[in-house]
Amino acid sequence: MRRLISLVAATSALLVFAGPTLGCAGLIGPNGAVNLLRTTTFAGYHDGVEHYVTSFAFAGGEGEFGSLVPLPDVPTKVERGGDWTLQRLNIETEPQLFFAADAARVGAAEAQVLLQVRIDALDITILRGGGAEVGAWATEHGFRLPPDAPEVLDFYANRSPIFLAAVFDADAAAERGQAVGDGTPVHLTIPTDDPWVPLRILALGKTEAQTVEADVYLLTDHRPGLLPAPSSALSPDGFELTHSAKATDLLLADLRSDAGMEWVPQSAWLTKVHINSDAADIAFDLAIDADGSAPSLVDAGFLPYGPTPAPWTTPRAWALLAFAVALPLLAVWFAASMLRGRESPPLAGA
């Protein structure tokens, strides 16, 4: 199936700190403060290949900190991303600033290390493993994962056991002269027929009262099908479609002129979903069908991954089920109405 999908997931991150695991309550990171990174992500999908571009911003401080990002499949290439793709999309849609990530370190454990790349002051590791394996790897490599991490990692690993661990070396960044806020763009080339945008991980480590704020950009051949559809019954408050239009030739030309972005097609549809929702409500991912048909309930995380859910994973199937339930109720209601009609008192004067 020829599909073109570009995704920009605003955030993705596990709260992590480098250094020894800390116990007891009230402890803070080894740098004396919690370092939060702002991470912006873009992914494009063309001819079965997803181009995932994300930027890790230097947040100051010392030591190491980073994030974990679930991926839909195994990348074949990890390289430095273009310089202005994310900024250009921001300008196009007047978006808001993105998300926060945290800290970590890199090494090896039970999880299989598929790829390791150093980009500027950023160490990227592509991992394959179950939730427990990847979590153990992260823990052993300095990530201090929040309490919801075991469940969230399983949530992703059951669908795709591929994760990206990014560790930002703040000391190296400082030596390179990177200023606070400077981002390091990373471009992943991911052959996959199953693209989705990780959203649930944006709520990782957050309390229910905290909010998830993110921007998701999609660039598709046609208007894409989204699940959950923004502003629908399935989507929470603050999950809104803020841009949906044919991408301008100028935008596509600008994107195509950036490093590694030659894959951008001549014609595409640009979509932006803005998320500003309670963390407790972000328990799903954004499933996408680039052809505009029904995205998968499994990809959205509404149904668990399994060997046989395929026929029942589309909204159409759920609509049929709802119709099947509603039909007898409708019949009962109709029969009751008819009965009441017969028992109603005769008209005055009759």
Partner 1 sequence: MFHRSLAAIALLIGAAVVAGCGASPPVQRVEILIHYSHFSPAELTVPHGVAVTFVLINEDPIDHEWLIGDEAFHERHRTGTEPIHGERPDEVSVRAMSSAQTTLTFDEPGDVDFICHFPGHEAYGMAGVVHVT
Q: In the set 24, 329, 347, 348, which binds partner 1 (CB under 8 A)?
A: 24
Q: Among residues 108, 113, 47, 114, which one has the least CA distance to residue 75?
A: 114
224-246 burial, b at 16+ Cβ within 10 Å, e below that, comes to bbbbbbbeeebbbebbebbbbee
Distance from C-alpha of 156 to C-alpha of 201, rounded to nearest angstrom: 9
Toward partner 1, which CB reaches closer, 208 or 343? 208
- Nearest approach, Cβ of 143 to partner 1 (angstroms)? 9
Looking up tokens 């991911």, which residue turns up? 190
Per-residue contact flags (x/-) with partner 1 for residues 184 to 223, judged by CB under 8 A: ---------------------x-x----------------
Q: What phi and psi, each to the nearest 5 degrees, are found at residue 312?
A: -110, 20
Binding piece for partner 1, criterion CB under 8 A, among 51-59, 150-158, 166-174, 226-234: 150-158
Q: Among residues 176, 217, 182, 185, which one has the least CA distance to residue 79?
A: 185
Binding piece for partner 1, criterion CB under 8 A, among 134-142, 174-182, 213-221, 242-250: 134-142
Distance from C-alpha of 6 to C-alpha of 194, rounded to nearest angstrom: 12
- Nearest approach, Cβ of 309 to partner 1 (angstroms)? 22
For 270, other C-beta atoms within 10 Å of its C-beta total 22
Q: What is the DSSP letter of 154?
A: H
Number of helical H runs and strand E runs in the chain: 6, 16
Number of residues that bind partner 1 (CB under 8 A): 29
- Nearest approach, Cβ of 59 to partner 1 (angstroms)? 19
Q: Output the CA–CA distances (angstroms, integers) from residue 5 to 10, 37, 116, 191, 203, in the order listed.
A: 16, 26, 26, 12, 24
- Nearest approach, Cβ of 258 to partner 1 (angstroms)? 37
102 binds partner 1 (CB under 8 A): no
Toward partner 1, which CB reaches closer, 20 or 345? 20
Q: Which amino acid is present at 297?
A: L
Q: In the set 135, 161, 195, 295, which binds partner 1 (CB under 8 A)?
A: 135
Q: In the set 50, 102, 120, 148, which binds partner 1 (CB under 8 A)?
A: 148
Distance from C-alpha of 234 to C-alpha of 308, rounded to nearest angstrom: 23
Q: In the set 1, 2, 25, 311, which binds partner 1 (CB under 8 A)?
A: 25
- Nearest approach, Cβ of 69 to partner 1 (angstroms)? 17
Toward partner 1, which CB reaches closer, 138 or 286? 138
Distance from C-alpha of 264 to C-alpha of 44, rounded to nearest angstrom: 8
Toward partner 1, which CB reaches closer, 153 or 227? 153
Residues engaged in binding partner 1 (CB under 8 A)? 20-27, 131-140, 145-151, 153-154, 205, 207
